[in-house]
Amino acid sequence: MPEATSDELLGRIRLHGRIPRHVAVIMDGNGRWARDRIMPRTFGHRAGMQSVRDVVEGAIEVGVGALSLFAFSKENWQRPKPEVSALMSLLEEYIQREADALDENGVRVRVFGELERLTPPAAAAVERVTAQTAGNARLDLNLFISYGSRAELVRAARRLAEDVAAGRLRPGDVTEEAFAERLYTAGMPDPDLLIRTSGEQRISNFMLWQLAYTELYVSPVLWPDFRRAQFYEAILAFQARDRRFGKVTV
């Protein structure tokens, strides 16, 4: 049987009706994709940027409300310097090239992580696109850069402690809601679906709090080959899941 086209997959998704409100993605496998072609790792990251574009367009088309992409972890700073600089430049390039189109499509871009570590041009690009798209509401595009989930949790705990110490909050007011309000994702629904590419079955310090009840989908496809059709397949797989949130279904 020939593979279904993106449009056919989209038709099936719409027929089913249940669209995830928030999809998170661990984009993995750029290095292996490049190695398979006897090319430098940065070649894979550049190809991966095309997948980012394709998946963002797919998310808009399907009507997903939020898309969270893990683009660069805190641990990634330890990669060889040329690779780190290439990733910073790619981020800058992506923002420069896509900002207007994202804005026109109603995408609100936010970047979460320890942004003070970004190179000045990358930080400036982040600030620009964040301000430019701040009024949009069709799709929340969250780029996690220089991000680690444990650091995000510690940051939230520190903010709560500061509020308690300053008398703005009582210890009894430290609830799940109060905690969630101090995460980067404050005000957003938790991801319904987490996609990880390249076959690895790990969370890798990504959105540990927010993923508590998220459906996991591991694709064997390397990120540069993960395009709109593969994204739609993941959503179809999600639609076939039975989500119970710890309860039973009758």
* DSSP conformational letter for 39: -
Please, which residue, 11 or 199, has the CB nearer to ligand FPP? 199
Pick one of 13, 67, 94, 219: the residue that binds ligand FPP (CB under 6 A). 94
- Regarding 125 and contact with ligand FPP (CB under 6 A), the answer is no
Would residue 103 show up in a list of annotated catalytic residues for this protein? no
d(Cα 67, Cα 157) in Å, to the nearest integer? 25
Tell me which DSSP letter residue 228 carries: H
**Per rule CB under 6 A, is residue 74 in the interface with ligand FPP?**
no
Identity of the residue, 68 or 160, whose beta carbon is nearer to ligand FPP in the bound complex: 68
Q: Which amino acid is at 228?
A: R
b/e map of 51-69 (b: 16 or more CB within 10 Å)?
A: bbbbbbbbbbbbebbbbbb
What 3-state class would DSSP assign to 139?
strand
For residue 27, state whether it binds ligand FPP (rule: CB under 6 A). Answer: yes
- What span, in angstroms and rounded, lies between the C-alpha atoms of 133 and 114? 20
Among 9, 25, 52, 193, binds ligand FPP (CB under 6 A): 52
* Among 20, 29, 148, 191, contact with ligand FPP (rule: CB under 6 A): 29
Amino acid at 11: G
Q: Which of residues 175-234 bind ligand FPP (CB under 6 A)?
A: 223
Q: How far apart are CA 75 and CA 69, in angstroms?
A: 16
Residue from 58, 80, 71, 65 nearest 7 by CA: 58
Which one of residues 54, 76, 182, 204 is an interface residue with ligand FPP (CB under 6 A)?
Answer: 76
For the question of residue 100 being annotated catalytic, the response is no
- 3-class DSSP assignment, residue 231: helix
- Minimal distance, residue 28 CB to ligand FPP, in Å: 5
Q: Which of 9, 62, 91, 235 touches ligand FPP by CB under 6 A?
A: 91
Query: What positions carry a catalytic annotation?
Result: 28, 76
Please report, as ranges, the residues that interact with ligand FPP according to CB under 6 A.
27-32, 41, 45, 48-49, 52, 69, 71-72, 76, 87, 90-91, 94, 143, 223
